[in-house]
Amino acid sequence: MVNTKKVLDHGFVTLRNLAGPTRRVFQSDQFEALGGTPQLRHFDASDVDPANAARMSFGGQDQDRDYETEMKLNRYLMKNKHMTPFEMVVVWLEMKLPIFVARQFVRHGTARLNEISGRYVTLPAEWYIPEVVGAASADKKQGQVNTLPPLIQTAFQDDLKEQCAASYKLYLAYIRDGVAAEHARLFLHLNHYTHWLWKQDLRNMMGFLLLRDHGHAQIEAQAYAKVITELLHPHIPGLMDLYTDIMRGEGLS
């Protein structure tokens, strides 16, 4: 099962782990009964985890209930904004992303992250060049539209590549001359790639996705949010369908 997806030109997202409060070793038929597929058994988390956690309030957890019953409770919880049970599922992601995208993501203070440090390692020659260069939107202060003439887009891409390559060359040269990496990295641009581990509970992950997979979010941020949703869905399909249906409002109820 592939748990890594490419994003942008040099970026990616990997689903490293997805865990709930219950340790599981599934047989194929057991996993299918919980809404998954047999080849996805290596993560502990299940669609039923939030409902089972919610039943702790009445001392009714860990009883034998079918998948439909648990999903009915999950729907009730999410629809009525009883969201703490969804915090009992935790997501670990590995991401490589441009610095300017990363700095938008760290606004989500519920996440825990460990980022590669340009103080300790020489960062690779990886910077983001947009495939489509956006024009400034006339009707809002932020955002972009795809209306720039191809000639301007090509010139922007070429100039950006040239500037990034020249800056990276200086970055390496000054490291070789003995300048501390934490200062040499000042030559690098906001479109240079960084790399981190990201940990977040499912409730707040859904809130993160809701904001970043939105038409008002920056296009590059949307690309990462869409990929994260795609990575999560095969493992907890019922919960991600509820997210789409209720939180995003794309369902019928």
| pLDDT at residue 40, rounded to an integer | 46
Kindly name the residue from 65, 107, 212, 248 that is annotated as catalytic.
Answer: 212
d(CA 71, CA 84): 16
Give pTM, 2 decimals.
Answer: 0.88
Residue pLDDT tens, the chain, 253 long: 579 999 999 999 999 999 998 887 654 555 555 555 554 456 889 999 999 999 887 766 667 788 999 999 999 999 999 999 999 999 999 999 999 999 999 887 899 999 999 999 999 999 999 999 988 877 766 778 878 999 999 999 999 999 999 999 999 999 999 999 999 999 999 999 999 999 999 999 999 999 999 988 999 999 999 999 999 999 999 999 999 999 999 875 5
> Which helix (H) or strand (E) element contains residue 200?
strand 193-201
Which is it for strands 90-98 and 144-145: parallel, antiparallel or unpaired? unpaired
Q: CA torsion, points 221, 75, 44, 17, in degrees to nearest 10?
A: 10
Q: Is 75 designated active site?
A: no
